[in-house]
Structure 1
Amino acid sequence: MERKAPDDLARLWRLPTGSKLGRRAELDVDRIVGTAVDLADRDGTAGATLPKIAAALSVTPMSLYRHIGSKDELVDLMADAAFGPAPEPVAAESEWRPALREWALAVSAVYRRHPWLAQLPISGPPRGPNAIAWMDAGLRALRPTPLDWPAKIGVITVVGGYVRQAFVTGRQLEESRRAANLNETQALRNYTAEVATLVDPSQFPDAAALFASGIFEAMPSSTDPVDEDFTFGLDLVLDGVTAAVENRPGR
């Protein structure tokens, strides 16, 4: 006997739920979720509360529950919609690294379009159609490798986790600099001026050598949206994946 999908999963995949959840002509899941994503893009997740979504749609908050089961379900729907369809992978018949790198850059681009996505809690493995498509694209990039399924899942988890954390860190630093009305170069120079004199070479020899090198004062601000720090970190992660691929038994 075929197992029926739970209602929340059915709505995530836009399957019939077997229940009448309001009049589709006036309100449906896609319209609610699209409005919620627009509000979150403008004001963050705090701007996408059920009352604010209802107000934007000129309906009552309770009417939303005929189409979504809960606030948590709405967040899942929003995340899957915001990620959107996965990009077509670059040719990966023999070169997995360029394909995986393009996948990582595409994930980073999604976070830049929808910054609130990186702030959502991770509640489990991918469930929605778009999330599964992104997982599939990452796995497809690794198809030429000798890695087994657990290793492939581990790779895309590590790479995706790096992209997410790098985005969060970069955005928080940018917001801090903006609040202080500083650019990156000014912030680094202020940091050096404030901290360097407190770093005792006998206690922190390598940190003292770092400050003495003048690297922070000489570091220019990056204007590249995919900045040098992110690129360096991504290549470092991919170097680790390369080592795992090359050392895999049966390669």
Structure 2
Amino acid sequence: MTSDERPAGTTREIELLWGRRETPRRGPKPKLSRAAVVEAAVAVADAEGLDAVSMQRVARELGFTTMSLYRHVDSKEDLLVFMQDAAMSQHPAGPRDDGDWRAGTEEWCHGALAQYRRHPWAAYVPQSGPPSGPNGLRWMEAGLREIAASGLDAPESLQILLLLTYSLRDLFRMEQDIARAARERGVPLDNEGDEWVRGLRGVLDPEEYPTLLWTLDQGTFAEEPPGYREEDGAMGGLGFAIQRILDGVDAYVRSTGRDRAGD
């Protein structure tokens, strides 16, 4: 295959992540491997964030020259592709014995969130499309399996999975950004919300912002929201949003007569 015939986009990513683009090498086994390069890059990102990852930095961590890395990974962009899939290496939960699709979907969401907590930088890797690697596709398979069990058809199940996936990622990023800003200002994270509320109360006109002030009066930004789980940190309130999305799915499949739970 010539350079002009090389597959582009996600097709190329699939071939990379599934080992279809590796060239067999003759001679003794090399001292460095693609797996070692990816593992070192993940360790750097876990410790210092995604911005700290470069081919030079990873090479230094491994004790090799930067050129040595290019024998295993063509570019930093390719390295990020491998890292993203590696960050999802922990397997999702298997099918539930009771067939409860709602409980299974919630379990999937909390599992996906746990992956981000282990590797926070993964939420900041640019997305070029759906998962292409074995780990990412394993999570996609598990999520679709649970959602489709509700009675939704394939396109509908995929749309709900995308809604949940991007909600988890974007809210996790918001949490991380708020925590980083608090650290940079030297303000304890627990006090960040209180200071924001106090600041707003001093500037908001009740006639122009009545609903926002009502929200503040309800303690929305100070109390643990519905669905809060301590192990989920500041994102615990997402449980309420997930429940309402699943309520919508439940109502829809019942209205169309496709509710599998009632079969």
Segments of 5+ residues of structure 1 without an aligned counterpart are: none
1:74 to 62, 72, 79: 79
Q: Secondary structure at the match of 1:14?
A: coil
2:230 maps to 224
Q: Are the equivalent residues in 2 in contact too, given 1:85–1:134 (CA < 8 A)? A: no
RMSD of Structure 2 on Structure 1 (CA): 2.8
Q: Does residue 89 of the first structure (1) align with residue 97 of the second (2)?
A: no
Deviation of residue 219 (structure 1)?
3.0
Deviation at residue 81 of structure 1 after TM alignment: 0.9
Query: Which moves more between the two structures, 56-65 or 94-103?
Result: 56-65
Counterpart in the other structure of 1:169: 174
Write out aligned runs for 1:1-150 (5 A): 9-15=14-20, 17-20=22-25, 24-91=29-96, 94-150=99-155
Aligned residue pairs total 247
Aligned to 2:3: none
Please identify, of 139-148 and 229-238, the stretch whose mean Cα deviation from structure 2 is larger: 229-238
Shift of 1:39: 0.8
CA contact (8 A) 1:85 1:133 kept: no
What's 2:250 paired with?
Answer: 242
Contact 1:13 1:129 in 2 (8 A): yes
Q: TM-score with structure 2 length normalisation?
A: 0.82
Distance 2:218 2:150 in 1: 42
Cα deviation, residue 197, structure 1: 2.8
Say which SS state the counterpart of residue 134 (structure 1) adopts: helix
- Contact 2:85–2:134 (CA under 8 A) maintained in structure 1: yes
Partner SS for 2:232: coil
CA-CA distance at 1:61 after TM superposition: 1.1
Worse-superposed segment, 45-54 or 214-223: 214-223
C-alpha separation between the residues in 1 aligned to 2:218 and 2:21?
A: 63
Shift, 1:127, TM fit: 0.7
d(CA) in 2 for partners of 1:30, 1:99: 32
Deviation per CA, 1:130-178: give whole Å up to 9, x if none.
1111111111112422211111111111111111112111111222223
Gaps of 5+ in 2: 1-5
**Counterpart code for 2:251:** A
Structure 2: how far apart are the matches of 1:114 and 1:49?
A: 17
Who is 1:152 aligned against? 157
How far is the alpha carbon of 1:89 from its aligned partner?
Answer: 2.3
Give the 3-state SS of the residue equivalent to 1:208 in structure 2: helix
| Secondary structure of the structure 1 residue equivalent to 2:207 | coil
Q: Which range moves more in the overlay, 13-22 or 30-39?
A: 13-22
Residue 86 of structure 2 contacts residue 135 of structure 2 at CA under 8 Å; is this kept in 1? yes
Change (3 A) 1:218 1:30: closer
Alpha-carbon distance between aligned partners in 1 of 2:251 and 2:61, rounded to the nearest angstrom? 51
Paired AA for residue 123 in structure 1: S
